[in-house]
């Protein structure tokens, strides 16, 4: 038996019936298995719901008042005909929560969709707004998703299996590179849109932030098949990266909100003792140079030395130019 209490189970069944009854009237002769799949329900659940619908109807309870379902046909052939339920021809209208959940989800789709899809999404959003909760200002979503033209070209390359050359402004190394990439998909994680693809240059799976792709160039080559993408994500990789401990002074503590932090402890003097996973030493060097006296590395002399070496090279360049 279901662990759901009978009371809640009855309300849930009514909720399902208020979906199934209009659906079945819009799709006469629908197959039980298809209906179950469409609503993500077990087929025997749909069958039980139908036997309840069969007993419901307008007051009076006479045969002409009741919803009509040919249950024999359902059992023998798996085909459903439900009639005499004109009063339940339409589903219940959307609640504010449902309408706004859908509208905001579609705004997120708009943020990463190809620019050519924007007119379709806008007209869809207008139609949903008409049935939604009215005069609310929908959330202002801003996904770092790069230029629409970049997305258009990447989506076209993906659908036509084209190899492309990216002009990529990598942050960790602070350099622009030009990898050859077989693009596979676009995705958004934590409000930032990425391209996932196979780097022909690096011979491995890579993710690229769309807002750092400065250009997508055609190569005229066909993308190769590289099997399935690895299941682990960049964030998983980061979680396994060796951590570095930093003492972060108050002026630099914004970093704990911008970068994934493995742990932080507030010290009595107002400093933060931060444990930061570091997947790329070049990124840590960049961060230490950026923050300067705002942080101190704890117990990793090689890390400190690496940043110092980069600082010395920069000072040498200033000195050479007579700019010191």
Q: Which of residues 124-143 bind another protein (CB under 8 A)?
A: 124, 127-128, 130-131, 133, 136-137, 139-143
**CB-facing half-sphere around the CA of 33: CA atoms within 13 A:** 2
Residues in the chain: 324
- Residue in the structure block whose two tokens are 């890390």: 303
Q: In the complex, what is the shortest distance from the CB of residue 298 to another protein, in angstroms, rounded to a whole number?
A: 6
**CB-facing half-sphere around the CA of 26: CA atoms within 13 A:** 10
State how far the Cα of 201 lies from the Cα of 216, in Å rounded to an integer: 15
Q: In the complex, what is the shortest distance from the CB of residue 72 to another protein, in angstroms, rounded to a whole number?
A: 19
Mask: binding to another protein, 166-185, rule CB under 8 A, as x and -?
Answer: ---xxx--xxxx-------x
Interface residue with another protein, options 39, 161, 224, 235 (CB under 8 A): 39
Q: In the complex, what is the shortest distance from the CB of residue 156 to another protein, in angstroms, rounded to a whole number?
A: 10
> 213-232: which residues touch another protein (CB under 8 A)?
214
> 45-104: which residues touch another protein (CB under 8 A)?
48, 51-53, 55-61, 87-102, 104
Residue 27: CB atoms within 10 Å: 14
Instruction: Considering the complex, state which of residue 174 and residue 204 has its C-beta at the smaller distance from another protein.
Output: 174
Q: In the complex, what is the shortest distance from the CB of residue 30 to another protein, in angstroms, rounded to a whole number?
A: 11
State how far the Cα of 262 lies from the Cα of 259, in Å rounded to an integer: 10
Q: In the complex, what is the shortest distance from the CB of residue 261 to another protein, in angstroms, rounded to a whole number?
A: 12
Two tokens, residue 82: 């439900």
Q: Which of 75, 69, 137, 142 is nearest to 107 (CA)?
A: 142
Interface residue with another protein, options 71, 79, 144, 239 (CB under 8 A): 144
What's the angle, vertex CA 81, arms to CA 79 and CA 83, rounded to 5? 170
């Amino acid at each position: 038996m279901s662990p759901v209490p009978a009371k809640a189970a009855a309300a849930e069944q009514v909720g399902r019936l208020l979906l199934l009854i209009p659906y079945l009237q819009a799709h006469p002769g629908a197959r039980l298995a298809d209906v179950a799949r469409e609503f993500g329900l077990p087929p025997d659940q749909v069958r039980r719901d139908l036997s309840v619908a069969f007993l419901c109807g307008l007051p009076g309870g006479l045969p002409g008042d009741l919803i009509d379902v040919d249950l024999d046909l359902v059992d023998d052939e798996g085909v459903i005909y439900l009639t005499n339920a004109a009063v339940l021809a339409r589903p219940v209208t959307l609640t504010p929560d449902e309408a706004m959940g859908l509208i905001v989800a579609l705004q997120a789709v708009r943020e990463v969709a190809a620019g050519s899809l924007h007119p379709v999404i806008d007209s869809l959003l207008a139609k949903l707004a008409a049935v939604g909760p009215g005069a609310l200002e929908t959330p202002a979503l801003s996904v770092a998703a790069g230029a629409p033209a970049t997305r258009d070209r990447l989506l076209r390359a993906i659908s036509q299996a084209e190899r492309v050359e990216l002009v990529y402004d990598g942050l960790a190394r602070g350099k622009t590179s030009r990898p050859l990439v077989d693009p596979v998909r676009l995705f958004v994680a934590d409000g930032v849109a990425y391209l996932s693809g196979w780097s022909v240059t690096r011979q491995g799976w890579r993710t690229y932030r769309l807002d750092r792709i400065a250009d997508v160039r055609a190569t005229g080559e066909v993308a190769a098949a590289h099997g399935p993408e690895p299941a682990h994500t960049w964030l998983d990789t980061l979680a396994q990266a060796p951590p570095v401990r930093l003492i972060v002074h108050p002026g630099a503590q914004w970093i704990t909100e911008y970068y994934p932090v493995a742990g932080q402890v507030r010290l009595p003097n107002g400093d933060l003792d931060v444990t930061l996973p570091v997947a790329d030493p070049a990124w840590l060097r960049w961060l230490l140079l950026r923050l300067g006296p705002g942080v101190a590395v704890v117990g990793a002399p090689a890390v400190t030395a690496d940043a110092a070496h980069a600082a010395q090279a920069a000072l040498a360049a200033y000195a050479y130019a007579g700019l010191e």
